[in-house]
Structure formats: C-alpha cells, structure tokens
Amino acid sequence: MFADKDAIGSEFKKILGSDVEISTGLASIKTLYNILNRSTATTAKELSEELRAAAEALEETDYSSTSIRSACELFTRFISLAPADLLDDKDFTTVLNFYRSRGDLFIERIAKSRTLISDCCRPFFKNNSNILTHSYSKVVLKTLLDAREAGIWFHVYVTESQPDSSGRKMLLALREKGIHSTLVLDAAVGYVMERMDMCFLGAEGVMETGGIINKIGTLNLAVCAKYMNKPVYVMAESIKFVKEYPLNQADIPADFKYSSTAIKSKDLQAEHPQVDYTPPQFITLIFTDLGIMTPAAVGEELIKLYT
Amino acid sequence: MTRKKTIEKKAQTVPSDEPTNNETVASEPSSSTPNEPEATEQVSELVNGVTNLSMTDKERGEMDRQTKSKEQIKAEREAKKAEKANKKANATSKVVASPAPQIQQHAPQIPNGQTLLSTTQVSKLENKKDVTQKPPSPEPKSAIKKDTARGNREVQFDLNTTVLRTPSEETISDLPKMFVFTDLAPNFNVHPVFHTLAARCERGQVADVDDLCEEFLSAFVKFISDWGAERLHNSDADPTALGFDLDLAIRPQLGYLTEDGRWPLPYALGNLVRQLKREIKRLDEPCKHAHTKEDGTVAAELPGGCDKLKELEEWLEETRYSCFELATNSISTHLMQKRKFSKKIVTFDWCRVVNRILLDSLVGEDPDLKHIVVLDQQLNGRGVRHMDTLLDKNVKLDYGDLRSLSVALHKCSIVLIGCSAVLSNGCVAVPKGSLSIALSAQANNIPFMVCAQTFKFVDKVQTYGRMALLGRENMELVPSSLITAIVTDIRIVPPSSAPAILKAKALESQN
C-alpha cells in the first residue's frame, strides 16, 4: 500500500534537482504533499501512518536529516489542524481535500519565508561593515545578495568549511554578484574575528533550547564571537524548528551527526560528525519568517505549536 | 449570578428583624466607645490651648478671649467639667453591659452542631449589618495607641500588612461576622480533616510539597462529601447557589490552613487551590448538556446538587491522577530519550519523581545507567530514602554529603534534582544546598536538570521566607542561568519557557 522507499527518495532528489534555490526542508514538504495528493487513505490514522513512513524514507537519504525531520513534522502538524466537526465527517475524502488545501497554504507560506527573513535582516546591515559567515547557506546568501541590491556596501569573509569545502561554493556565488569577499581557513576564525562587525549563520535545525545545529565549525565561530563581543545572527526558516533538546555535544542524536550511509556501514567512533550544536548563549538573535526572535522565544514558539 | 445579586435577592425574602441578631450588631461598637469621649476631650483642649498652629484658629481664639468676660469663662469651664463626668459615667455602664451580647453573638451556632452556614443565613446577617451599621469612629492614625485597660503605651505593628495577598491566600476578614473566629470558639467551623492535615504538617510527617498536595486533595474529597451530606438536610439551601455556598464554606478551611492569610500557601498547593476555586465557581453555571434519558425526557437532577458535587469529586480525583501518576510517567519517558547519554547520575535530597526516574532507568537487562550518587545536606538526611529503594538494584550506588560534591561530579553525565516550584522568571525553588551543586555543575560543564510537573509552575517571581503548613520550608532559589533544562510532563523545556508553560496550562494568576 505504502509507496516504495526508493521511489520516495528519488522523487525527493528530483524535486531538489529541478530547482537550485529550493531548500531541503521545502523539497521534503513538497514530496509529502505529492504523497498526500496521491493518497487513497480512508482514515486519518492511515494517512498519518503513510506520511510517517514517507518521512522516514526521506530521512534515510543523505541530506540533512535535521531539516527533513523538522519540516516533515511541522507539515504533518499543520495540515492536520482541522476543526473537530470536520473530522467526524463520514466521507474521508472531504477531510483529505481539507488537508490538501492546508498543504497548499503551508507550501505557499514556506516559499515566501526567505524573502521575509531577508526583509527582517535589512536594518542590521551597515555600510562598510565586515561580515563573517560559515559554510554555504541559501538563506544567508539570499539575505546578503538582497542587501547588496539595496545598495549597501560590505565585505564578506567566508570560512572554507571543510571537509566538503562548501565555503568555496558560497564565495563563488557571492563574487558572481559582485560582493567583495574573502575565503578564510577554518582555523583562522579566531584571527579574523577582531575585525568583524557581525557574524551571519544559517542553521540545519533550531532546537528547543534556542540553540542551533549547523555545519561543523559553527561552534568555534560562535565561541570566538562571544569572546570578542561580536553579535551572532542566525537565519532560519520556521520549518527548521525541531522538537529536540540536546544538553551538550554528546547528546546530539546520532542521525543528526552522521549521514545515514555512515550510520549503516561504518564504525561511528572513527567517523567525524558533520554538525555541531551551538548553545543559545552564543546566539544574539534568530531571524525567522515569524519575525526576529531571541533564542529563548524558540522554545515558547515550539510549545505553542505542539500543545 | 454575582454574589451581590444573590444576597439582595435573598434579603427580600427574609423578614428583616430578629431580636437576638439585632442586639448583637447594635452592641458591636460598644467596645470602642469608652475611649472616645476622653480622646475627643483631649483634642478639644489642645485646640483651645496654644498648640494649635493654624493661623485662622489662633486669631479666632484671641477674638473670643477679648469678647468674653472672666465670669463667663469660669461658668463655661464648670459646665464642661459636669459634661465630662456625665460621659464617663455612661461609658463605664456600657463597658459593664457589653460582654453579654458578645457571648450571645456566637452562642447560637455551637449547640446546633451546624458547622457550615448556608447562603440564606449569611444573607440575613449581611442584611442586618447593613441596616444597623454606624459610621466608623475616628481612630488615631499613629501606630502608638493608648491602651486604657492596661494603662501603658505599646507599639502595635500590623504584621499582616507586609504580606502580599493573592487570590490563593485566604483571608476571612471579608467574611460576614458569623464566620470570623474568636477566642470563644476557635476554628469551630473547620472540618476535622484539615485539622489533621495541619497537625501532620506541624509534626513533620508531610515530607514535601508533592505529599502535601496529594494529602490536601484527598482531605478535600472527604470535606466535600461531608459538606454535601449536611447540605442535603438543610432545607433552606438554594440549589442554584451551590458553588457560592461551597466557596463560602471552604474559606474558613483555607483560612485555618493559612492562619487567616498570614502565610501564603506553598506555591504548588496555591496553584491547585486556585484551579479548585475556578472549578467551584463553574458549579453555578448552567449545565451545557442536560442529562437526557433514552426516551428523550430530561433526567431529574439529584437533590442538593449531589451530581454536581460528584462531578467536583471526579475532577479532584482526575487532578490527583494527572498531577502525580500520569505526570511522573511522562517525565520518566521524556528522560528515557537521554538514557543512552546518562551513565552516571548525581541527585540531591529526596524527590519521588527523581526516584521513579532512577528506578525506571534501571529496568532491563543491561541498563545504560551504571552509577548513581545520592547527596544529602547532612548525612542520614532525606536522601537515604533513595538508597532504600535502590539498594537491591544492580547499580553502583554512592551516598555522601555536600563535602563529597567534587568527587560526585567527577565524570558525571547529569545532575538531576526535584523541585517544589518553578517561578515564571525561570528560577526554580529547590532543596537547600542545591545551589552549590548547580554552581559546581556549571563550572564542570555538567547539565543540571530539574524535574517538575506542570502544576508546580507558578505565576510568581517572589520568594517567601515562610509558608503555610510547611513552615520555613527547606528551600532556596536557583537562577535560571544555572539550569540546563526542566523536565516537565509536556516535554523537556528551557527555564525561559516557564511563561509559555503557564499559558499552555492556563495557570496564570488572572485566570
């Protein structure tokens, strides 16, 4: 009855490949939406089982499982917020149609979120400032490009972000649009920090603590910034809010830390984690499509969403 | 229907004069009258003398002196003396007369054995009070009052004024006169279960706020069943004013527990009482869904609002179940997510939720938890209870006092502590000694976690030196910056989310 796991995985990759701009979270939501559209479920329970199985299949791909999990959970939660009397309807297709319309609404809202974040961020830019960023993040890139288009001059320092050198990708994207930028070594973060005005970070997931899980090396940057009193701004869509409460680095769930292929095949003791957890005390503000938040507000927002 | 309206409505139906009560109320001001004439006399003398500093009066006095002859002044003085003597004589006769009606005032309630009063009786009283009430006599505003009986001056500080009163803290001063306790019949309308509860607390048989809340709930169930039974026999009782009557009836009980609002109820208990009151208020609201039988006719309600009381009892039982059993279960399951991570747990003092979590994480063939350290403020303290339950489990167990803190925290995964309240600013009220553990945990980068059921979240930020029932509870505040996480029955939350929890659970004070 349920769709094949591989089929779901390939559909997800197809959606990701079709649009360079699309985020992992949005792509997984679109995959779920397609499954919802195709669904022939006759009860709410059946439908939720179907969606859950699909979400599990998506998490088994090698993309960031933090983003996928949060997006899938929020999507399922959002579409199922239906009035009680509708759920009593004997014909489940009316309920399904309602869910589909909610899904449409959700995707429409999520697609706008980057623009909203970019708008939120604009007043924080100053002319001739130095900005440090880590790794490659689509939200940060969009915000920087929008600010440049608005006529603000700034210099961006990008860390190389090993092991996959995603910083180079960021550097090329920035230079292409004519933004002054410099590539720095991951180990040089402490050295360059004193000349920075602010740090911009993306996030794979925003935790209930208000801390973030992001590409390895983020914590180093945040600690240095805190020590030198530089503001650290995080940009994350609200679909990245995760119901998870890591207490420290050791407490990050293994499926967040390692790719699913590494978990299956290798000895994790020898494996390098791909992400680290930056606690909320190192973060100044979080820019989301819901507005600008302090890290403490994230927990409250999640309680509102899931109670 | 609001309280005032009910009273007014009842007042119309009740005949307005009843000799004994009328006397009672009329004699009320008598105790204060003896002081009055003397006081006014002194004041008038001062006014006529030199001490009055207001210019216009002074001038007027001089004018008078010039116009009056010496003889006139003499005659006036003599007349005043005579007046004084007269007043004194009156006053002493009143003092002699006054004690008798005071005794009468309480006498009618005791012999009947009728401990609780219905609305009608209360409204009668209030009505009479309104009719015969006199304007209050002017009292000296200074804290130093002249006590004529003892003949000495003493300073009377009103200790109660410093205590901040919130809805959960009971005062009985706003009740009709009949309800107020006096030396003659102390606590005559307090149900025995509350006497027992207070006595148990005084003897230290109630370990912590969890036990206290649970005992309070079960005591309240007993109280309600007795009260309901008594109400059945009372033909005057108005079935539509059940909640109002019950609200009046519980006030003396709570007033007794809080010593007339002198001490606030312990945080969590205050929360429960507030919810309970909200529930009682709801009793008077008309039923949304009337009980209908199968044949379509509306089922007759049981007399005396028994079904409503039964609902309340069910609510109490449900609250007890969800606050203690369900909440503990879900806290334990939430911490299970961290089970892989926690190899060595340090705990402090006794908390039954923590104990339950420790026992739960030791279940199974090869539990991840290998080592438990229980610390106590002093050796052989309350932490020994943990040891009693954990001794026969297959786990390394250490026990010590706060001096062994540094050894305990070595290679520790988490510190887990129970609490008596979480304040709305994220501070947590924990057993004394926990603050030093929190500080050392932070210095050692060890997560400091607190377990709290959601009913322990209170919409307050201040601390009390002393509380009702638990006395000077063994408690201190840990600031939110030292707390890594609070494990609640909803989920694991940061301390900064306390207001969100309050909102989600509708525990804010305005509700």
Tens digit of pLDDT for each residue in B341-394? 788 999 999 999 999 999 999 988 888 899 999 999 989 988 999 999 999 888
Domain spanning A117-306: which CATH class is it, in words? alpha beta
B109 is written with which tokens? 């309630």
Contacts of A209 in chain B (CB under 8 A): 485, 494
Helices (H) and strands (E) in chain B, counts: 19, 13
Residue B40: predicted pLDDT: 45
Put simply, the answer to whether A209 touches B485 (Cβ < 8 Å) is yes
Domain spanning B339-504: which CATH class is it, in words? alpha beta
Put simply, the answer to whether B485 touches A245 (Cβ < 8 Å) is yes
Integer Cα distance of B369 and B384 in angstroms: 19
Contacts of A248 in chain B (CB under 8 A): 445, 447
Q: How far is B496 from chain A (nearest CA, A)?
A: 6
- Give, for all 307 residues of chain A, the pLDDT tens digit: 456 778 888 888 888 888 877 888 888 888 888 888 888 888 888 888 888 888 888 888 888 888 888 888 888 888 878 777 777 777 788 888 888 888 888 888 888 899 999 999 999 999 999 999 999 999 999 999 999 999 999 999 999 998 889 999 999 999 999 999 999 999 999 999 999 999 999 999 999 999 999 999 999 999 999 999 999 999 999 889 998 899 989 888 888 888 877 777 777 777 889 999 999 999 999 999 999 999 999 988 888 877 7
- The domain locations on chain A are 5-112, 117-306
For residues A296 and A245, the answer to whether their CB atoms sit within 8 Å is no
Judged by a CB distance cut-off of 8 A, whether residue A227 touches chain B is no
Single out the residue of A39, A36, A109, A106 nearest to residue A78, CA to CA. Answer: A106
B414 is written with which tokens? 């988490």
Integer Cα distance of B130 and B135 in angstroms: 11
Contacts of B449 in chain A (CB under 8 A): 247
Q: How far is A252 from chain B (nearest CA, A)?
A: 10
Domain spanning A5-112: which CATH class is it, in words? mainly alpha
Single out the residue of B434, B511, B446 nearest to residue B484, CA to CA. Answer: B446
Judged by a CB distance cut-off of 8 A, whether residue B501 touches chain A is yes
Binned at pLDDT 50, 70 and 90, residue B54 comes out as: very low
B323 is written with which tokens? 């606050």
